[in-house]
Each structure stands twice: as C-alpha cells, then as structure tokens.
Amino acid sequence: MAWKTLDDMDFAGKRALVRVDINVPVEDGVVTDTTRIERIIPSVDDIQEKGGKVILMAHFGRPKGQVVPEMSLEHIAGAVADVLGLPVTFVNSDYGDAVAEMEGDEVLLLENLRFNPGEEKNDEGFAKRLASLGDIYVNDAFSAAHRAHASTEALARLLPACAGRLMAEELGALEKALGTPERPVVAVVGGAKVSTKLDLLGNLVSKVDHLVIGGGMANTFLAAQGIDVGKSLCEHDLADTARDILAKADAAGCEIILPRDIVVAREFKAGAANETLAPDACPADAMILDAGPATVAYICEVLEKAKTLVWNGPLGAFEIAPFDAATNAAAAKAAELSKAGKLISVAGGGDTVAALNQAGAADDFTYISTAGGAFLEWMEGKELPGVAALG
C-alpha cells in the first residue's frame, strides 16, 4: 500500500496536526523513560524546517472519556519540551486561541485526547473540531494505528494526510519483513499461550518458510502430537487447533520448528536444578521451561540460510536464568547476522523487546517495533485503520 510522507507535503506557513504516541512511564511526577518522546523528534524538526507549525495530539493512559487529572498531558509537557529542545505550550481545552497565538518555533501540546468520549468512538464531530485547528494531518503513531479513533482514522479523512518519519520507518520495515520479503523468511513466535496467537500463527504459515514455535506455546503443540509434557504450561483443549495449524503449514510448505530437546525443572525459580532431555522424556512431576541446545543449534542453522526474520515472543521462561539460554543464544545469532548485513530482522511486542534487550541483541536487529498491539495485528495480516486512512 502506498502512503504519503512528509516529503510529499508543503508545510510552508501551514499548521500540522501531528498524532504521536508519548504514552511514557511516569513515577512521582517524573518521566522515567523518554524513548517515545525522542522518537518524534525527526518529524517535529522536519515540519518546522519546512516552515510548518507543529500541534501535537496524543493520548495518555485509559481515562475512558472522562477527565482524570492524573492522566493529564500537562504532567509531561516539561519533559516533551526538554527532549525536543523547543518551547512547548500545553493547551487544556480552549484550542482555538492558543493556535491563533502560536509564535516562532513554539509547539502546542493538546490535552489528552481520550478525555473526550468522541476520541475512542471515532466521532466525526470531535474529528472536525480537531481538523479546524490545522491544515495538514500527520500520523506518527503506528502504535495507535490499529485503533479506529477520531485522531487516527476520522481526522485523516478530513485533511490532507501523511505518515510522519517514525510511522513511515515502521511501515517500511514491516513491508520488508512480510509484505515483499527476501526469502527464505523465518518467523519466531513464542510466549505462554497459543490462544492469544491463533490469528498470528494462521497468517504466518502461509507467509514464511520456517516457523519456530517456542515458550509455553510449544508445549501445546508437543502435547497435540501425543507427547506427555508433565506439569508444563499447556493448553490441552487446543490440541485440535494445534494439529490444524501443523496441517496448514504442511500444505503451505512451511517448516514448523518445535523443540528438539527440552530443559525441565521441578520448580520455577532462578537457578533451579534442571536437566536437558528429549522432547518425549519430560518426567510427570517436571515442567518444560526452555528449549535445549540441540534446538538452538538447529534454529541458528536455519537463520544462517535465511534472508528475513520476524520475531515475536521468547523461546522459554526468559525472565529467570538459566531458562533464558535459548532465547539469548538465538537472539545473539540473529543480531550477529543482522550486523553483518546478511539478515533483515524485525521484532516487536512487549515481552520480545524486553527479552532482546536482556540478551543484549536489540541494538543489532534491523528494526525493533515498540508498537505492541499494532505490531501483532499487522503480523496477523489485519488491516490497520490508522494506516488504511492514509492511503
């Protein structure tokens, strides 16, 4: 799908309504991680350099259409100004006057959009009120693109619209990974439950050449093949579904990679006594907490031949050692190949980012998405309303 970017728009003398994601963590009134604010700098700088004025729109938390004082964006306006290195004026509700009085390189930050019930209802009236403030709409919040809200969908139909730098970068990375990827393509999907990733697995088997299934999800697939997984986390009621996915993969010529050896323990705690066994040798009183070295060796062999990697979820109980070994080793291999220019690697999802950071591999991946839900829905093959509205 083609979408316009900042390069396609004339911002000279225009006001740009820029939808951003600055839903940052705050403790005791202090922003503890400014990453999301830092990521909007390229778009803000570009628009100003092209002679435009910037009006930032964002949500914060889940106030559900009510005014919740502790969720006011006023609390982070200072942090936004510090990170951008620009004067930032917070605007409570009287938007019009503040817009008319904008000066120089001043940036406006509108109050939390979700204080207005019209935002999450994708209300045309609220979108028109926002549209009256600007001349051009810029969406730089891929993480909110899976929501059809007033500021992501309705507004994009009311003004000339384009993707901001961050949104365009994200969409470009995703297109390279699953839209028109270089083959072979490998997907790594891990996590606790198959039930939360059914759509994802169903879409991937027709798109990728190799699908690595790890974490608790792998136990469900092993059990579906008649293997006793002891006390492991397992969704036994999804055995038929797991077998369907295996059959679909087989028909599509997609190799499903399940653990070739398992690491088991009797208790779930750091440093717990553990042993590495064949997949069908899990003792009745033990649980599978990681994939073993033979599995990792095979995954690394597959990655060596791959051109593209999409990663979502850990291969084991990565939160505690030694059950982070498989995730760390496979991530290190993917990072090494990416750094050498041999692999395009795209990863996303909360646990995934945490696991790759912990493995020290995140910096060498081609692209890390912090978008969570939007990244997952894109991997599931769903149309994202906020992206479709830019087309």
The 10s digit of each residue's pLDDT in 186-228 is 999 999 999 999 899 999 999 999 999 999 999 999 999 999 9
The mean pLDDT value of the chain amounts to 95
pLDDT (0 to 100) of residue 304:
98
Active site amino acids: 36, 193, 350, 373
- For residue 378, how many C-alpha atoms fall within 13 Å in the half-sphere facing its CB? 32
CB 200 within 8 A of CB 189: yes
**Cα–Cα distance, 183 to 185 (Å, whole number):** 5
- CB count in 10 Å sphere of residue 148: 16
pLDDT (0 to 100) of residue 135:
97
Q: What is the DSSP letter of 176?
A: I
Q: Which two tokens stand for residue 293?
A: 């070295």
Residue 29 has pLDDT above 90, yes or no: no
Amino acid symbol at 26: V
pLDDT (0 to 100) of residue 222:
98
The 10s digit of each residue's pLDDT in 120-170 is 999 999 999 999 999 999 999 999 999 999 999 999 999 999 999 999 999
CB 276 within 8 A of CB 296: no
**Cα–Cα distance, 261 to 33 (Å, whole number):** 39
Q: Where are the alpha helices (DSSP H) in the chain?
A: 35-38, 41-49, 77-84, 95-100, 117-120, 124-131, 165-174, 198-204, 215-224, 239-252, 293-305, 325-339, 350-358, 373-379, 385-388
**Range with lowest mean pLDDT among 15-29, 93-107, 323-337, 356-370:** 93-107
DSSP for 298-348, please give it.
HHHHHHHH-SEEEEES-SS-TTSTTTTHHHHHHHHHHHHHHHTTS-EEEEE
pLDDT (0 to 100) of residue 257:
98
Q: What is the pTM of this model?
A: 0.88
- For residue 123, how many C-alpha atoms fall within 13 Å in the half-sphere facing its CB? 13
Q: Structural domain boundaries of the chain?
A: 6-166, 173-379
Share of the chain above pLDDT 70, in %: 99
CB 301 within 8 A of CB 333: no
Task: Identify the band that residue 267 occupies on the pLDDT scale cut at 50, 70 and 90.
Answer: very high
Q: Which of 287, 284, 233 is nearest to 265 (CA)?
A: 287
Q: Could you check whether 6-166 and 173-379 share the same CATH topology?
A: yes
Residue 88 has pLDDT above 90, yes or no: yes
CATH annotation of 173-379? 3.40.50.1260
Q: Which of 292, 350, 302 is nearest to 325 (CA)?
A: 292
pLDDT (0 to 100) of residue 99:
84
376 three-state secondary structure: helix
**Cα–Cα distance, 268 to 277 (Å, whole number):** 17
**Cα–Cα distance, 167 to 10 (Å, whole number):** 18
**Cα–Cα distance, 245 to 116 (Å, whole number):** 42
CB 243 within 8 A of CB 237: no
Residue 1 has pLDDT above 70, yes or no: no
DSSP for 244-296, please give it.
HHHHHHHHHTPEEE--SSEEEESS-STT--EEEE-GGG--TT-EEEEE-HHHH
**Cα–Cα distance, 187 to 379 (Å, whole number):** 10
Superfamily of domain 6-166: Phosphoglycerate kinase, N-terminal domain (3.40.50.1260)
The 10s digit of each residue's pLDDT in 276-307 is 999 999 999 999 999 999 999 999 999 999 99
Task: Identify the band that residue 91 occupies on the pLDDT scale cut at 50, 70 and 90.
Answer: very high
The 10s digit of each residue's pLDDT in 50-79 is 999 999 999 999 999 999 999 999 999 999
